[in-house]
Structure 1
Amino acid sequence: MSQYRSLSLSGKEWVFKREEPFVSADDREQIKLLGEVAGANIWRDYVSDSFLYPDLFSGDVWVKKNIVDTCEWEQAWESDEESVPDMMLSHLENWGDDTRVYFCCHADLVLETTWAVFKRAWKAFLFLESDAVLVGKKKKQAIQFCEDGRLTLLMRPS
């Protein structure tokens, strides 16, 4: 069983092949869709062992309780500016460009890449499922892109 699935067979590859926001071929090669088991394990270990989808989260899930701050992502996403919102960069300032990150839409849709690639392609990722949670391997900081345009800055529990 492979750790990864084909992004093209998932029906999700189109978000990274759009003209706008543009994602380079080199970056697309570094965006991997985790296989069902690997994705479910990341979801369980980093996001929730009780809920398979973020819209089902109850108020006692760490993603709802461990909010450091919030800001808006939608205005930056709609602008011509390519960079991620400053508040997000500040919150994740200890993430190196080679930090392995997981964009967790739900237990069956988890994408893996590096922080450098995510920063360049963040607008494309947001064409995927709403309320996705971005976590870094072995990192305490996390963020959730909420459907209402808010970005919640989070701290994962120890």
Structure 2
Amino acid sequence: MHYVDLDSYSRKWIFTHASMPVEENDLAQIRPFTQARSSQLWGEHISRQSPDADHFEKGDWAAEKKMWSEPVEWQQAWDEDEPALPQEILDFIDWEDNTTVYFCYEKYNLIETKWGVFKRNWKNFLFFDDGPILMGKKKTQVIWFQSNGNCTLGHRPK
């Protein structure tokens, strides 16, 4: 089994918090991976050596500054009542709503969902903004969110 039941997920509260509850239909599509599966996917797609975004080093594609755009501000949109992701992000990502995405908090904590679910509930995912990376399955575009309220947009190697 590759998934943890959402009820058993340590960060379930970010999706059920009274101030920003996620609709049942979307909750059913938020699927945390087990630590073992998270580690496997992190190693295959992000880094074989670094456990989280704070520790990327030489040899990690994400450590290459040339991979990333200039910072895009996301914090202001998160703080406002407007539910949409910042337009720069929406302009960069051209995925269908049913595209499978991985939201990668760190090596042992990845969530699988759909791009449409993420777009509707992105503020919930970013309750923890300590360097998570969003990537699409079989896609090159990635978004790296930083806790300073910015994110960078890039393309990972295939």
Report the TM range for the smaller structure's normalisation. over 0.9
Kindly report the root-mean-square deviation, in angstroms, between the aligned alpha carbons of the 2 structures. 1.4
TM-score by length of 2: 0.93
1:74-153 aligned at under 5 Å gives the runs 74-93=75-94, 95-153=95-153
Does the aligned pair in 2 maintain the 1:99–1:114 contact within 8 Å?
yes
Identity %: 35
Q: CA deviation at 1:87?
A: 0.6
Matched residue of 2:69: which SS? strand
Please state how far the C-alpha of 1:59 moved relative to its aligned partner: 5.7
2:16 counterpart residue number:
17
> Does residue 73 of the first structure (1) align with residue 111 of the second (2)?
no
CA 1:75–1:59 in 2, change beyond 3 Å: closer, same or farther? farther
Structure 2 counterpart SS, 1:69: coil
Q: State how far apart, in whole Å, the 2-side matches of 1:51 and 1:138 are.
A: 22
1: CA distance between counterparts of 2:3 and 2:118?
18
Contact 2:85 2:122 in 1 (8 A): yes
Query: Structure 1: which 5+ residue stretches go unaligned?
Result: none
Please tell me whether the aligned partners of residues 30 and 117 of structure 1 are also in contact (alpha carbons under 8 angstroms).
yes
Distance of 2:39 and 2:147 partners within structure 1 = 22
Give the aligned residue type for 1:9: S
C-alpha contact 2:133 2:144 (8 A) present in aligned 1: yes
1:33-48 pair list within 5 angstroms: 33-48=32-47
Q: Aligned equivalents of 2:146 and 2:98: distance in 1?
A: 25
Post-superposition Cα deviations, 1:34-55, rounded to whole Å, max 9, x if no partner, equal 1122211211112111111111
Tell me which amino acid in the other structure corresponds to 2:17. Answer: R
Q: Which amino acid aligns with 1:79?
A: E
Secondary structure (helix, strand or coil) at the match of 2:71 reads strand
Give me the whole-angstrom Cα distance separating, in 2, the residues matched to 1:34 and 1:129.
19
Contact 1:4 1:35 in 2 (8 A): yes
- Paired with 1:83 and 1:77, the residues of 2 have a C-alpha distance of 9
1:65-117 deviation per Cα after TM superposition (whole angstroms, max 9, x unaligned): 21033210100000000011111111112x11111000000111000000000
Higher RCO (CA < 8 A, seq sep 6+): 1
- Unaligned runs of 5+ residues in structure 2 are none
1:84 aligned partner, one-letter code: L
**How many aligned positions are there?**
156
Normalised by the length of structure 1, the TM-score is: 0.93
